[in-house]
Amino acid sequence: MKKSWIRTSILLCLAVAAMAAGARAQETGRVEGTVFDSTAMAPLAGARVALIGTSFVTDSDGEGSFDLEDVPAGSYPVTFFHPRLQELGISASGGRVEVSEGAAARVNLAVPSNGTILRAWCAAEVPGSGYAPAAGFVRDSLTNVSLPGASVTVSILEPSGRVERTISDRTDDEGYYRLCQVPAGRTIRMVATFGSGGSLPMVRETVPGGFSFNDFVLTLSSIGEIQGQVVDYATKDPLAGARVTVLGTDSEILTDEDGEFVLDDLPPGLHLIETEYLGFATRTDSVTIRSDEAVLVEVPLAANAIEIEGMTVTARGQRGDILTDVGRRTDFMSRDQVDAVLPRTQTAAQLLQGANFPGLSVRDVTFQDGLAQIQGVCVEHNRARNRTGAGCQMVTVFLDGLRLPDPGVYLAELNPQVVESIQLFGPSEAVMRYGNVGTNGVVLITTRRR
Residue 401: which CATH number? 2.170.130.10
pLDDT at residue 123 greater than cutoff 80: no
Asked if residue 236 and residue 309 are part of one domain, the reply reads yes
Write the CA distances from 139 to 177, 237, 414, 417, integer angstroms. Answer: 11, 45, 19, 23
pLDDT tier at 245 (50, 70, 90 boundaries)? very high
Asked if residue 228 and residue 197 are part of one domain, the reply reads no
pLDDT at residue 25 greater than cutoff 70: no
Name which residue leads in pLDDT, 173 or 348: 348
Could you read off the pLDDT of 185-227 as tens digits, one per residue?
899 999 888 766 677 788 888 888 778 888 888 766 667 788 8
Q: Is residue 236 part of a domain?
A: yes
pLDDT cut 90: percent of the chain above it: 11
pLDDT at residue 37 greater than cutoff 90: no
Asked if residue 305 and residue 254 are part of one domain, the reply reads yes
Asked if residue 238 and residue 211 are part of one domain, the reply reads no
Asked if residue 140 and residue 106 are part of one domain, the reply reads no
Q: What is the pTM of this model?
A: 0.41
Q: Is residue 365 part of a domain?
A: yes
Residue at which a domain ends, from 168, 189, 218: 218
Look at residue 372 in the predicted model and tell me its pLDDT: 62
- Domain housing 62: 2-111
What CATH number is associated with residue 168? 2.60.40.1120
Q: For residue 23, give every residue at least 6 positions away whose Cβ sits within 8 Å of its Cβ, in sequence order, or none.
A: none
Q: Is residue 117 part of a domain?
A: no
Q: What is the mean pLDDT of residues 5-20?
A: 50
Look at residue 311 in the predicted model and tell me its pLDDT: 72
Asked if residue 433 and residue 340 are part of one domain, the reply reads yes
Look at residue 239 in the predicted model and tell me its pLDDT: 94
Asked if residue 96 and residue 47 are part of one domain, the reply reads yes
Look at residue 88 in the predicted model and tell me its pLDDT: 66
pLDDT at residue 331 greater than cutoff 70: yes
Q: Is residue 120 part of a domain?
A: no
Residue at which a domain ends, from 272, 292, 318: 318
Look at residue 324 in the predicted model and tell me its pLDDT: 34
State which of 58-67, 119-128, 320-329 shows the largest mean pLDDT: 58-67
Look at residue 317 in the predicted model and tell me its pLDDT: 61
Q: Is residue 194 part of a domain?
A: yes
pLDDT at residue 18 greater than cutoff 60: no
**Domains: count for the chain:** 4
Asked if residue 134 and residue 39 are part of one domain, the reply reads no
Could you read off the pLDDT of 288-307 as tens digits, one per residue?
776 667 788 889 998 876 56
pLDDT tier at 328 (50, 70, 90 boundaries)? very low
Asked if residue 232 and residue 208 are part of one domain, the reply reads no
pLDDT cut 70: percent of the chain above it: 80
Q: Is residue 154 part of a domain?
A: yes
Asked if residue 141 and residue 79 are part of one domain, the reply reads no
pLDDT tier at 410 (50, 70, 90 boundaries)? confident
Report the candidate in 335, 349, 351 with the shortest Cα–Cα distance to residue 450. Answer: 335
Look at residue 24 in the predicted model and tell me its pLDDT: 47
Residue at which a domain ends, from 111, 142, 177: 111
Q: Is residue 118 part of a domain?
A: no
pLDDT tier at 310 (50, 70, 90 boundaries)? low
Kindly report the average pLDDT of the chain as a whole number. 79
> Any idea which of 5-19, 66-80, 105-119, 393-407 has the lowest mean pLDDT?
5-19
Q: Is residue 139 part of a domain?
A: yes
Asked if residue 347 and residue 247 are part of one domain, the reply reads no
Asked if residue 361 and residue 287 are part of one domain, the reply reads no
